[in-house]
Chain A
């Protein structure tokens, strides 16, 4: 337990010390690069903004992620069970995923003008569903035929086979993809928050810091984002331990 918390904590402290040292040894002023010791002041000054904006960023990211899980799993199931769907959908999905999402922000903003919350959730979803769809699809399509046969020989329906075997068997891959999608969803949310005018959330706070040349604020936002990302990531790790803990083998 001490090692589980102590080691990551020590790593973070070393990172902050190194950052402080590099800024100090180069003699960089605040308007070039803020140092960790500038951050507490920024948090103290804007703490209410951080709470409000942080919450906005968090809920929109989680909402986008939930939609990504639903749609991604559904797409993965379709591709996993049907060869035709797989052949048809893969190039489309890969092509869509290759489009830089920043270019979509103005498009979405124009279509759903003024719907800031909706646009942000939509972008978080668009950027994060791909890994989930691919991993669920691969997990289902690579299911060994014997696994299906033990139940099919007993006359079990396709749905029963999916529920009892295919679904639990793909959970480890699913959670692997979800860990990637969590960080991607944050990028999606912040893209919209930063690019679109009159934005909300931590991205908008970052933008206002940039406009005012308030470098400590900008870095404080980045650290807050990193913190949210870590919290959400470990939330997924906890879910994984609960639902797919069996996949973890004892070390050695």
Chain B
């Protein structure tokens, strides 16, 4: 399998009032086509910078970001983004919100085709019948579902998610993990998921990348060797528990502490 996303030796620093703030230091990682990479790490370690780099919204000081064997220098139409804040447009209905990327990426697509595509996705995530509602009429979980639909409506090769489930309660979050799994089965895409939730990273990821503290590099990469059609029960198996332990230890190291003795 070829690598769809390749990040090679990326180093980046932000200019702040109190001098340069290095966030990434020689970060190297790769995500094969169709794979799901979960990125975990301590707060403020440059995970969001990583999403903006992959999306082409900014350029690194040093190093290269490659998508599909092409160097990323500017935004491209084949990327979808989802954030912790669902950022739905309040003046549009749910259906119109989901259609938004198509208006930019596929201006020639007919209105009927756009709406059919959006309705198909809304059905997939369990929002059937909510297409005519305003975002303010939906719960937080439902808004995030709509936001997910919007991020993949134009069939991007790469889906970049920056803590999309971070603001949801634990049960809603688990529901959305399963929605995400079902979406992947129907709509193949390569995904980079930034998260703080280790269980989320193991349930959804094909690989989990642990970033070190700032300035961050890829400190540890875990191959999640679990079947694709996972259920939540899998998190309670010894294999998953062992992975979660390993990740926990790695996070401790990234935070500059000694891992606990088991």
Contacts and interface: CB of A to CB of B under 8 A. Distances in A.
Contacts, number: 59
A155 B77 contact: yes
A164 B103 contact: yes
B90 A155 contact: no
Contacts of B81: 149-150, 153
B159 to A, nearest CB: 11
B55 A153 contact: yes
A146 B83 contact: yes
Interface SS, A side: helix
A152 B101 CA distance: 10
A153 B79 contact: yes
Contact of B136 (A151, A160, A249): A249
Contacts of A169: 89-91
Nearest to A160: B104
Interface in B10-60: 52, 55-57
Interface string A161-196: 000110011010000000000000000000000000
Which residue, of A151, A154, A160, A244, has the highest number of chain B Cβ atoms within 10 A? A154
A150 B92 CA distance: 15
B56 to A, nearest CB: 7
B75 A155 contact: yes
A156 B104 contact: yes
B75 to A, nearest CB: 5
Interface string A230-252: 00000000000000101101000
B248 interface: no
Contacts of B160: 153
A147 interface: yes
Contacts of A249: 136
B71 interface: no
B230 interface: no
Contacts of A160: 104
A168 B104 contact: no
Contact of A149 (B55, B76, B90): B55
A186 B6 CA distance: 63
B39 to A, nearest CB: 18
B80 to A, nearest CB: 8
B241 interface: no
Contacts of B55: 149, 153
B87 interface: yes
Contact of A168 (B74, B79, B91): B91
Contacts of B77: 154-155
B75 A152 contact: yes
B85 A146 contact: yes
Interface in A15-49: none
Contact of B56 (A150, A153, A247): A153
Interface string A122-163: 000000000000000000000010110111111110001000
Contact of A164 (B52, B56, B75, B100): B100
Interface of B: 52, 55-57, 74-77, 79-81, 83, 85, 87, 89-91, 100-101, 103-105, 134, 136, 150, 154, 160
Given A153-B56, A155-B75, 7 more contacts: A149-B55, A149-B81, A149-B83, A150-B81, A152-B57, A160-B104, A246-B134
30 contacts: A144-B87, A146-B83, A147-B87, A149-B52, A149-B55, A149-B83, A150-B87, A151-B100, A151-B104, A153-B55, A153-B56, A153-B80, A154-B75, A154-B77, A154-B79, A154-B101, A154-B104, A155-B75, A155-B76, A155-B77, A156-B104, A160-B104, A164-B100, A164-B103, A165-B89, A171-B91, A244-B91, A246-B91, A247-B91, A249-B136
